[in-house]
Every structure is written in structure tokens, then in C-alpha cells.
Structure 1
Amino acid sequence: MIQSQLDPLPADLPFRFISKTIGRGAYASIKKAIPLTASSPVFAVKLIHKGYAIKHGRISAKQIAMEVSLHSHIGQHPNVIEWFATGEDHVWRWIAMEYAQGGDLFDKIEADVGVAEDIAQLYFYQLISGVSFMHSKGIAHRDLKPENILMSENGDLKLADFGMATMFQYKGQRKLSTTMCGSPPYVAPEVLSCGRGDRTSSEANKYSAELVDMWSCGVILFVLLVGNTPWDEPTSQSWEYQEYKKMNGRSSDSLWERIPTEALSLLRGMMNIEPKKRFSFAQIRQHPWYTRRNKFLAADGKITDPLNLATEMLENLRIDFSQKAPSAQCVSQPSQDAMEIDSAPHRISSTQPETPINDVLFDWERPMLRSLAVSSTQPLSRADATLPPSATQSNFFDALAEEPSMSQFSQTPGVPLTLTQRAQRFRDIVPPHSFTRFFSPMPPQLLVQMISDALHNLNVPLPSSPPHIGQGDHVSTLKVRTVDERKQGLHGEILVDKYFLPASQELLEVRFVKLKGDPLEWRRFFKKIVLLCKDGVYKPEA
């Protein structure tokens, strides 16, 4: 057990917690809270155990203070998570901030598919709005990637996590950066060149942080449109990047063929190899693709039709059970490649430094079926997993069929009509909880074995002893510690819990909780496991 689980929190906090842990980094956890004297607003509190962070997280006390200072300096903007307050004692630093009630944006985007052009343009518009506002304050994010892009309850984009942010301009004075930070698929090439000492002069071994953000915004737009990154990393190790570089942004990769023609010049302008030639915000805002008419986008940058937006997003999430189950891939052990993040001081650092997840205790909110009288956003303890006394088996399965996450398993493409008819808000169709979950009617022992076999098939390392099967409502926890197709860390847990049905029957819920890694890669991993376990997956209309 790590020390941060043993040390009591400060006694004089000006708020009270109303949730279990809803997020975690290596040295911090995030909980929902409200003011001591009111029931609203609900906000998020990031709790940093200072001693553990400095000792194991490879960050300094100055870096923790810098994150707080820069976040508070940014100010209010509809597309940036707002900073509220901070405090500390000798053990803990806490930061109160806006709670992104819509959850993770990229968890709701289909890997290898992306989203419709209007949806991509909407979120790109809001991304540029948030980043340009930060830059107007002289602050660059330096770690723009899907993990750090959240949503409000109305579906609006929210930039989060300023642990790698830096001030590049203050009182007219500009500063270059030397810190290696970011994620290889999204980071600009000059950051990696800087870290590897590819240049000769000391001035050349620095980079402009604001131009790095521009490159990352381009990669994020690419991912929105096609559901994949253009390369693993912008280095000589990637043939896709090398061709892009050699051909001045013209690539023969089939992914680029799926980019709308009008958007190609925008992407090439933002992802120019020469940093000083990259598009400015003014050039982006004048580009025809950026200014095209969009049915979801109002003049003020807000969403005009949240229900239809949510419906279109949900329709894209699909698991095709006619697909062939994936075969064993090369061993998914943590890569020793020189570009792997988090591995050594000279290599690229992640926003949340890594610790062994076996040593960390945490809880996660379990979403409850919304049709069973409890909101899906309220925490559900394992002891509460039984149905209300008035519930019957039939209305349980009726409720299950209307769960948004179940539509991805339906044999009939589309969103259930009853769901859209009852919906009043974006979150009624696209809830904040992750869609990487499924239900199963199989006996616990058999299902856990099936999941273990699927992990083995994908060469995910498993413990030598069989997974523990609990006798209560929590069945088992299977830890995932692997690398994704981009050779980046992918860590999480597969939690198996019971719903107790009438007539002494059970239905198992299997949740895939990501601890670290790209949400699109986590979804790709989830889909592989589902296809390997398809005989044990409950499917509507089956």
C-alpha cells in the first residue's frame, strides 16, 4: 500500500467529497466535491500527495507549484477546465477545479473510424478556441492529446491537465523550451529532435512551445477525422512520417485518403515540418474548412443541436461480431525502444508519471442503469448492485436494452428510438461513463477464464496464479499492463461485478477501466477482447 493511501487528508477542507475516486494519476487522485454549506456546484478536486509525487513521480515541488500557478493564470474560458482554488498542508496539495461532467471525449469516438465531418469540425473549432485563449495568456499546454480532452455535460470540449504547461511569453518577453514532454504520436518533431540532441547549436536545441501546440492540434484533427494517428512518432523510425516529410505533406498512406479534400491543406499548414512556417490562429480561422457551414456549430462556438450531435456520435460506436476474432499479436511487453515514454530521465516524459499499479488502491464509480430509478452518474457501491425491490427481471432487461453503451452491441445499427424520444440533454444519450463495458449471462468462473484466455491470446502478461473469484457481488479484478499498437503504455483493470436478478439469477457486468494510455487505443483493446469473448457477451435482440 502506498503512503498516500495512509495519510489522512487535511481536516480543514472548505468542501466535502461526494464520490469515490473518479480519476487517478501516479501521484494524484480526483474526487467530486461540493461546498460545505451547499449542494452545488459540483466540482472536481485533484489531491496530490507531495511526498509520494516527489519521491516516485519524478516531479519537483516547483513543478507542482507551477501547475497550480499556470492553471490559475489562464482564467475563464468555455473550452478550458476552470481553476477554482488550491490549498495544502505538510502532506497534501489540493486543487479545486471545474468538473467535466461529460467525461472523456475520445472514449466516445470509434477507433479506426473517427467521427462525421461536422462533429470533427465542431470539436476542432472548440479546441482551437481553448488553445488560442491559453496562448493569449502566454501559456502553452505542451501535452495536447486525447487523454487531456474532456466534455461538459452538454458535450462541449474542455481542455484539461496542465502539468506540462509552460509560460512562453511574459510582459513582451518570449522564452524557448527545452523540456521533453508530450506523447510521441501527438508531439511535434522538434521536441524529439531537441531531446536527442540532433541539432548543433544550443539555440537549436530549444523549441517554441506555442508552435508545438499547433502541431498537436493538427494531429488531433487527423484523429477526429479517421480514428487513428498518422504515425507512431514523427521520427526516422516511422516510414509514414518520413514519407510525409520527404513529400511535403503528401502521403500515400490510405489514412490520408479519408481526409476531406478541403481539410488537407489545413492539416499540412498546421503540421508543417518547419515550425516557423506553421499556420497561425489567424490563418486557421480564415481557412475554408474551418469556416464551412456546420449544423452543430453556433456563431459563438457553442453546440446548436446537442441531442442530434449525441445521437450521431453514438451511432458511430459499433462492434461487428461478424468480424474475425484477432489472433495473437507480438508480445505486448513494455517497449525498450528509445522513444518509449516514462522509462528513463532522458526520454520523453508523460503528464502523469507512472507507478506500479499493483501498489495503488483506488475505487471507481460504477454507473447504474438509468432506468432503474438511479441516475447513471451517481456512485454505486458494490453492495448496492442489487435491483430495487419493485424491479422485475423483464424491466431490468428493458432498462439494459436502453442503456446507451448497449447500442454498440445491437444487431440493428442506430440508437434505440425510446432513448432518443426520452432524451432532454446531451448526456441522456452520451453519458459520462465509459462505453468500454459489456454484460454477460455466463457463470463467473467461466467468464473470468474466457477473459483470461483472451488476454493470453493478445499476449498481455498474466499473473502466475489464477484470478481470484469473489463470492460476493464483486467477482474479480484482472489487471492490464501492456503497450498499444503505438508502443505506448496501456494500463488498466477489467472489473467483473454482479447484478442480482429476481429468481436468484445473476448478470455479470464487465467494465474496462483505463488507468493510463490513449482512450482510442483502450477502446481498440476493448473491442479485441469483446470479439474474443463474443460467446459470453449479452447482445440486445439476440
Structure 2
Amino acid sequence: MNKAKVKRRVGKYEVGRTIGEGTFAKVKFARNAETGEPVALKILDKEKVLKHKMAEQIGREISTMKLIKHPNVIRLYEVMGSKTKIFIVMEFVTGGEFFDKIVNHGRMREDEARRYFQQLINAIDYCHSRGVYHRDLKPENLLLDAYGNLKVSDFGFSALSQQVRDDGLLHTSCGTPNYVAPEVLNDRGYDGTTADLWSCGVILFVLLAGYLPFDDSNLMNLYKKISAAEFNCPPWLSFNAMKLITRILDPNPITRITIPEILEDKWFKKDYMPPVFDEKDDSNFNDVEAVFKDSEEHHVTEKKEEQPAAMNAFDLISMSKGLNLASLFDVEQEFKRETRFTSKCPANEIISKIEEAAKPLGFDVHKKNYKMRLENVKAGRKGNLNVATEIFQVAPSLHMVEVRKAKGDTLEFHEFYKKLSTRLDDVVWKTEEDMQEMK
């Protein structure tokens, strides 16, 4: 297989596929050309950031991550800027999203859930000790490394201790409703420490029960349930697990259990291993301010190629779990936020076919080079479903198409993909074995 061509290079980093996307940022897989080390490259549009007055929040996120050096928190290595972009170089973890593990496997055994919860509490305790509060803790913001260890990510809603007002409380309401503490909802100010701890309690409940403790299609009803801590533990939980969850999901932040008390809890302490790491603080914040400046001396060089990215065997392996390449070519990968298929059609023909299939399903199509964004004109459960597609060249006559949820509800994405795949039947490459199975 031909050596992969670099589609884009930012400074010393070779930039590859998109692995995540948000309102103001896109995260791409990249590789340090000097060391070969894989990294995650968060790319922000500087004009959008300034237009929406997000510079302070982005600067806060960068500063926050530079403060945190813990084995259970994603590391930030470097910050760079060009005339139009801000680049945040972060640790790349290969174990996937914690959310997918929960959706695919359901509830966990108590020993397994306890290990993840211990790592989560260790990470949050460390963040709080540095005056950093996450404020949007949920399974979607937790990742897993190659060894199955938890990594807290996405400090976009984090608050630093400097933002605490004279009353000693934070006053910005944010986070995901199902995981938000009642005191955050009542808009009278809250302690970031106890609010984060509540979210940890909801996560622990989800790990052990397999479903949310507070859930309702009506937002006001959901808020009422949260404010009253109206939930029931499933019967399969041990007494000590129920007791701990009840003490964390206490609607009164003053009487809610604290992290030092959790560290002494009977259920929590079983098989507990405190983290061992170097706490040396060598943070430098000079580049944080520099990335927002227009001076040429602070700009990093960018190079681009406008053609489908070639892909070698290493790239294929890095995109699959372990060394099993079969998962790359499954037409249906249930409960995933992305899926892939291969095609022997030319890249331009694949784009046309996807466009023809998506429009009757109610999607607007936006094309740029060999990438597409499909946006549902009707809002779904979590807003408008956005789907991103990208075409990679595996061999001269073979392409791989990645279809990924960029925004919206995961289950709605899978319903869309099932409908899309039936309309692309003549595009997807079928092996002789596939043809035999269809007979």
C-alpha cells in the first residue's frame, strides 16, 4: 500500500482525520513529525472565537489544562496560532469514549464501576486542589486510554477559582441537564466542588444501574426531580453502594458528602490504589496570550493538499480496535458515533451518491473538497442532527468512507445511517463472501 500523503501540516505536526467536533472547535488526529508521537489537535476558528466573544473562555480552557498534570486527566502539550486558527495540542488516547462503553455493555459489575469511579474522584480531587472546577462532568467527557484507564477531558465549561465572587460561589449556569446539581439550576450561586461531586454521583449511578437517575422528556419535570433528588436505586445494588450514592446525590450541598469523606467510605476504599505521579509545576502561560495576537512572529506555518487522503496499513490499524481490521468494514456498527464502509467507486461519484441519498431524508448538504456535512433541517431530541463524512483513499481503486455524528442524538444518527445505507447499496463494496451470504 502506498505511503500516506500528508493532507495538512501545522508546524511540526502532520494532520489527519477528524476525531471530534463541537460548536467552536474541531479535533483532529495528528502526529509529531519529529518524534512520531500521536496527538489530538484541537483547531479553533479565530474569527468565530472573537466574533462570539469566546476568547476569554478559550483562554481559560487552555490555562486550565496547563495547570492540570494528572494521570486521569487529558494532558495539554502545546498551544499555537496562525492568522486564522488556534491550535491546541493534546494527549491522544486510543481507548475510545467512556460513553460508548456504557452504551455497548450496559451496567457494570461493582468492582469495575468502583475502579473507574476511584479514578474519576482522584482526578476531580486534584483539579479542585488546583482551583479548577470542571462543571460539565458526564460520560461523554470521559475517555479511556489503551490500558483502560479513565481520562477526564473537555474543560470548555471549567471555572477557575478567580471567577468565584465575593460570596464564595460561582454564578454561571452550565452543564448537561441530567448531570447538573440542583443548586446550579436554582441560580442562586453554587460551590464548584460540591456541584462537580453531584455529577460524579450521577455518573456512578449510571455505571451501576445502566440508566440515568433523573430523566424526563419535559425539562421542567426533570428539574423538579433533580431538585428533590427524586430517584430510586435498582435492587441489584449492594447496600454500601446505595448508601454512597444517596450521600452524594443529596440535594442540599451543605450536607452532601465531601471528597475526603468519600475517600474514607467503605465501598469506595475497597482495592483503592492512590495515583502516583510527578506533581512538578512547570506551566508557562506566555503562549496562551500569544495565540490571540496578529503578530507574524507568533504564527505557525500551515500547508494543505486538496485531494482524498491516502491511507497506509498503519493508519488502518490505528483506526480500528486492536489489530482487528474487520470492524472497519462493518456496514452496521450498533451504538457507535461513527461508522465506515469501503467503495470501489470514484471519490466524486461517492459524494454525488451520498448527496442524492441524504436530501430525500431531509438533510441539507454542504461540500468541501472530499468532505461533506449533512444537516437535518428538523430539530431532533438534541437539536439538529449533523453528520460529517470524509473519503480516504486506501488504494488507487478503493476508498473508505467515514460517516460520523458531529452533533445531535446518537440514536437518531443510527436511524439515519440505516436509511442512508439502504440507499447506498450500489456504492458499498461487497466481497465475494458478502455476495454468497445474500443469495
Q: TM-score, normalization: structure 1?
A: 0.57
State the distance in 2 between where 1:119 and 1:32 align.
29
State the distance in 2 between where 1:243 and 1:30 align.
35
Aligned length: 385
- Report the alpha carbon displacement of residue 159 of structure 1 after superposing the two structures with TM: 1.1
Q: Within the alignment, does 1:49 sit opposite 2:33 as a pair?
A: no
Cα deviation, 1:181-214, whole Å, max 9, x if unaligned, reads 11112111222210xxxxxxxxxx2111111111
Cα deviation, 1:359-416, whole Å, max 9, x if unaligned, reads xxxx9x9998xxx944435579xxxxxxxxxxxxxxxxx976x438859879xxxxxx
- Report the alpha carbon displacement of residue 66 of structure 1 after superposing the two structures with TM: 1.9
- Aligned amino acid, residue 299 of structure 1: M
State the distance in 1 between where 2:44 and 2:371 align.
31
Contact 1:451–1:529 (8 Å) recurs in 2:
no
Contact 2:388–2:406 (8 Å) recurs in 1:
no
Name the residue aligned to 2:298.
Answer: none
Contact 1:218–1:270 (8 Å) recurs in 2:
yes
Cα 1:102/1:500, change in 2 over 3 Å: closer
Name the residue aligned to 1:207.
Answer: 190
Cα 1:150/1:367, change in 2 over 3 Å: farther
Name the residue aligned to 1:514.
Answer: 405
State the distance in 2 between where 1:98 and 1:186 align.
26
Q: How does 1:457-496 map to 2 (within 5 A)?
A: 461-463=362-364, 478-480=374-376, 487-489=381-383, 491-493=385-387, 495=389
Cα 1:43/1:438, change in 2 over 3 Å: closer
Cα 1:489/1:286, change in 2 over 3 Å: farther
Cα 1:100/1:175, change in 2 over 3 Å: farther
State the distance in 1 between where 2:163 and 2:238 align.
38
Cα 1:22/1:441, change in 2 over 3 Å: closer
Contact 2:331–2:340 (8 Å) recurs in 1:
no
Name the residue aligned to 1:161.
Answer: 154
Contact 1:223–1:229 (8 Å) recurs in 2:
yes
State the distance in 2 between where 1:273 and 1:406 align.
45
Cα deviation, 1:54-90, whole Å, max 9, x if unaligned, reads 21xx33322222222222122x110011122324455
Cα 1:228/1:533, change in 2 over 3 Å: farther
State the distance in 2 between where 1:501 and 1:68 align.
39
Q: Which moved more, 1:152-161 or 1:492-501?
A: 492-501
- Report the alpha carbon displacement of residue 434 of structure 1 after superposing the two structures with TM: 5.4
Name the residue aligned to 2:412.
Answer: 525
Q: Within the alignment, does 1:274 sit opposite 2:252 as a pair?
A: yes
Q: Within the alignment, does 1:26 sit opposite 2:41 as a pair?
A: no
Cα 1:146/1:481, change in 2 over 3 Å: farther
Q: Within the alignment, does 1:79 sit opposite 2:72 as a pair?
A: yes
State the distance in 2 between where 1:228 and 1:27 align.
30
What is the percentage of aligned positions where both structures have the same residue?
Answer: 28
Contact 2:24–2:49 (8 Å) recurs in 1:
yes
- Aligned amino acid, residue 492 of structure 1: N
Name the residue aligned to 1:299.
Answer: 273
State the distance in 2 between where 1:221 and 1:267 align.
7
Question: Of Structure 1 and Structure 2, which has the larger fraction of its residues in strand?
Answer: 2
Q: Within the alignment, does 1:133 sit opposite 2:24 as a pair?
A: no
Name the residue aligned to 1:423.
Answer: none
**Residue of 107, 112, 115 corresponding to 1:122:** 115
Contact 2:136–2:174 (8 Å) recurs in 1:
yes
- Report the alpha carbon displacement of residue 166 of structure 1 after superposing the two structures with TM: 1.2
Q: Within the alignment, does 1:63 sit opposite 2:46 as a pair?
A: no
State the distance in 2 between where 1:468 and 1:206 align.
42
Q: Which moved more, 1:79-88 or 1:489-498?
A: 489-498
- Aligned amino acid, residue 412 of structure 2: F
Helix, strand or coil at the partner of 2:363: coil
Contact 2:331–2:341 (8 Å) recurs in 1:
no
Name the residue aligned to 2:242.
Answer: 264
Contact 2:309–2:393 (8 Å) recurs in 1:
no
**Residue of 298, 314, 327 corresponding to 1:403:** 327
Q: Within the alignment, does 1:192 sit opposite 2:170 as a pair?
A: no
Q: Within the alignment, does 1:17 sit opposite 2:44 as a pair?
A: no
State the distance in 2 between where 1:265 and 1:65 align.
40
Helix, strand or coil at the partner of 2:177: coil
- Report the alpha carbon displacement of residue 142 of structure 1 after superposing the two structures with TM: 0.9
Cα 1:91/1:206, change in 2 over 3 Å: same
- Aligned amino acid, residue 115 of structure 2: L
- Report the alpha carbon displacement of residue 133 of structure 1 after superposing the two structures with TM: 0.7
Cα deviation, 1:471-509, whole Å, max 9, x if unaligned, reads x9x79864446655xx4336331648699999x9x9x97
Cα deviation, 1:424-443, whole Å, max 9, x if unaligned, reads xxxxxxxxx95642659999
Contact 1:269–1:278 (8 Å) recurs in 2:
yes
- Report the alpha carbon displacement of residue 34 of structure 1 after superposing the two structures with TM: 4.4
Q: How does 1:337-356 map to 2 (within 5 A)?
A: none
State the distance in 1 between where 2:143 and 2:355 align.
34
Cα 1:243/1:183, change in 2 over 3 Å: closer
- Report the alpha carbon displacement of residue 525 of structure 1 after superposing the two structures with TM: 3.0
Contact 2:263–2:269 (8 Å) recurs in 1:
yes
Q: How does 1:498-509 map to 2 (within 5 A)?
A: none
Name the residue aligned to 2:290.
Answer: none
Contact 2:214–2:226 (8 Å) recurs in 1:
no
Helix, strand or coil at the partner of 2:148: coil
**Residue of 221, 225, 229 corresponding to 2:204:** 221
- Report the alpha carbon displacement of residue 35 of structure 1 after superposing the two structures with TM: 4.5
Cα 1:117/1:511, change in 2 over 3 Å: farther
State the distance in 1 between where 2:259 and 2:324 align.
46
Cα 1:373/1:34, change in 2 over 3 Å: closer
- Report the alpha carbon displacement of residue 41 of structure 1 after superposing the two structures with TM: 2.8
State the distance in 1 between where 2:253 and 2:402 align.
42
- Report the alpha carbon displacement of residue 124 of structure 1 after superposing the two structures with TM: 1.6
Helix, strand or coil at the partner of 2:59: helix
Helix, strand or coil at the partner of 1:163: coil
Contact 1:17–1:31 (8 Å) recurs in 2:
no
Instruction: Give the superposed CA RMSD.
Output: 4.8
Cα 1:501/1:80, change in 2 over 3 Å: closer
Cα 1:468/1:85, change in 2 over 3 Å: closer
Helix, strand or coil at the partner of 1:513: strand
Cα deviation, 1:103-138, whole Å, max 9, x if unaligned, reads 322123326934443332222221111111100111
